[in-house]
Amino acid sequence: MHFKTSIILRMFTGILAVQGMSFGQHYFSSVLPINIQNGDARSMGMGQGMQPLIRSFSNHSFTIRIDFDMQSVTETRSFPIIDMFDDIVTENVYVVNRPKVYSMPWSLSYDAKKWVHMPATVSLTRSIFWDFRYDYTEEVRSSLGPGVYNRDPVAGYHIFRRGGMIHSTRFSAAAQPVAFLNIGISLETLTGRDMTQEYGVHVLRTDEALAADSTDVKEFNISAERINRWALDLDYILDESLTLSLSMKPPITFTFKTDGFIPSLDERTQLPGLLKADSLSEYKIPVPGEYSLGFTARLTNKIKTIANGNITYADWSHYDQVRFSGTESDTVSYNYEPAWSFHVGVEHWILRQTPFRFGFSYIGSPLGEEFEQTRITLGTGWTFERFTLDIGSAFGRTEYRYTDLFIPKGQEALHLEEVRDATFSLKASLTYLF
């Protein structure tokens, strides 16, 4: 396939596996659908990556839940300072971005036991499956030279922005055909919305530190074909205190079309990146199936306590190729590895009225040990008659090295830069029982 090699944007991807909390607006978020969190605030506070299809069967005929979701990443990029012996003395921070994105997933559920003569519910959920949003703005300043102590004037800005997401509309049904077994099944439709890319240089005054001599900012659109996917959950109820769970989702493949940036391989880092296509191109990104084992334990002590956890496996090693079609066919191959994720959480009820939730997550990466991450989660909740308000939060941090996103014209980046991402997610879930 033919590309414009004069415009190369290297993109790092894949720190986390599919089962992480949702932290959109990462630089690598348009290559892999990672960091997905479709659960409510209670699930987040207890460290769970996903909310199961099967929920507790209730005596209320109808339930509505609205989630208020805020995701934030503080991205810091720095380049090394080299001494005369070619050793790294320190790191010089040159850009800090703090983008925030918001969303409002929702869910409707109905008690269907009177129709099937067994405990059963049906539900409809609308959420984000794949978040493309990202906002990178690098302020570039001119040097006034030695002996001038005024603040260096702004020469321009390096800009890379993405917008849009792939939404999930999911219909689920769960039932308890026998006393020891719950069965949940769902069918979701995944559709793209408002997907864009913006890349370029905004020049205020010509300077050698800029990646261009004049303003050149272009916007590109991305379209995604709609696809469907099913999922299955099974709960085996050993007794009133312990339930074992199994969930599975099959592999799927996304098809995109764009005249903008498409996935490639950074030859220097051997990590996924982006490359500017010279014409409208179609590419396919495969996503592996997910398989999870979990438990829920209701501890018998004076303080009401619920503990849960799960382990999730996704074999990315069999889905590490991105295929293209356009002027001519091409394939980009990555060196992905199978990814494991672990989640554990506890819910204590203080005075049997107010829950205190905390959790821990270890999230593997298809790119190997260097990009693994651990996260701490906290949460609580309150009930007012038929209303329930739950609050959940999650914290994480990642450090890695990658190539400069905007190399000044005529220069060469000799050293990899250090990128630090501090992630924070806050979710509030409001539930009303009819």
The string of pLDDT tens digits covering residues 271-327 is 788 888 888 889 999 999 999 999 999 987 778 899 999 999 999 988 888 888 865
Where does the pLDDT of residue 9 fall: very low under 50, low under 70, confident under 90, or very high at 90 and above?
very low
Q: What is the pLDDT of residue 149?
A: 57
15: pLDDT strictly greater than 70:
no
Nearest-angstrom CA–CA distance, 431 and 64: 6
The percentage of the chain sitting over the pLDDT mark of 90, rounded to a whole number, equals 50
**142-178 per-position pLDDT tens digit:** 876 655 556 778 999 999 999 999 999 999 999 999 9
What is the fold of 3-433? Porin (2.40.160)
Please say whether the beta carbons of 181 and 237 come within 8 A. yes
Domain locations along the chain: 3-433
**Tokens representing 240?**
């009133």
Confidence of residue 16 (pLDDT cuts 50, 70, 90): very low
CA–CA separation, 192 vs 226, rounded Å? 7
pLDDT higher for 83 or 415?
415
Please give the C-alpha separations between residue 18 and each of 60, 63, 286, 289, 365, in angstroms, as whole numbers: 33, 28, 13, 10, 9
| pLDDT (mean) for 136-145 | 84
Q: What is the mean pLDDT of residues 397-408?
A: 88
Task: Determine the pLDDT at residue 6.
Answer: 30
Give the pLDDT confidence of 354-366 residue by residue, as tens digits: 899 999 999 888 8
